[in-house]
Amino acid sequence: MSFYDWVREEARLIHADGCSGVTNIDGICCLIHDLEFYYGKSATDAYRHSTGPGDAIAWQDADAIGFDEANANFRRCCFRESILGYANPLAWWRYWGVRTQKGRAAWDAHRARERQET
């Protein structure tokens, strides 16, 4: 299974909404970002550990990442997926959007959920 197919399946399992409130251009990047925010782990690393969608151990074994790293991964993905690359104004706009207080609140809410589950 390709990384992107795995991401789509993993995102479906957590009911990720992808690109909230904006166009779904580069939507795979939004799903990766949703997963990294939800788990606080690297989606790329989880994929490497995974035996398939729904493999909770993959997320447990994946490298932990922080708020800034998840957002930087999102920015790099948006640039990589766009034919405009670093010149893509939508990618920059989205990157600045996820770094707001609203983005921080979403990150903090997921970390609080994790504390409650343990």
Q: Which two tokens stand for residue 32?
A: 């990766």
Domain segments of the chain as ranges: 3-117
Identify the pLDDT of residue 24: 54
H/E run at residue 110 = helix 101-117
Identify the pLDDT of residue 82: 74
Identify the pLDDT of residue 49: 95
Per-residue pLDDT tens, the chain, 118 aa: give them. 999 999 999 999 999 887 765 555 558 999 999 999 999 999 999 999 999 889 989 999 999 999 999 999 998 998 888 767 676 767 766 766 777 788 888 889 888 988 887 6
| pTM of the predicted model as reported, rounded to 2 decimal places | 0.85
Residue 87 is given by DSSP the state G
Burial class (CB in 10 A: 0-12, 13-18, 19+), 62: buried
SS3 64: strand
Angstrom distance (rounded) from CA 115 to CA 4 = 29
Identify the pLDDT of residue 79: 84
How many residues are given for the chain? 118
Residue 74 is given by DSSP the state H
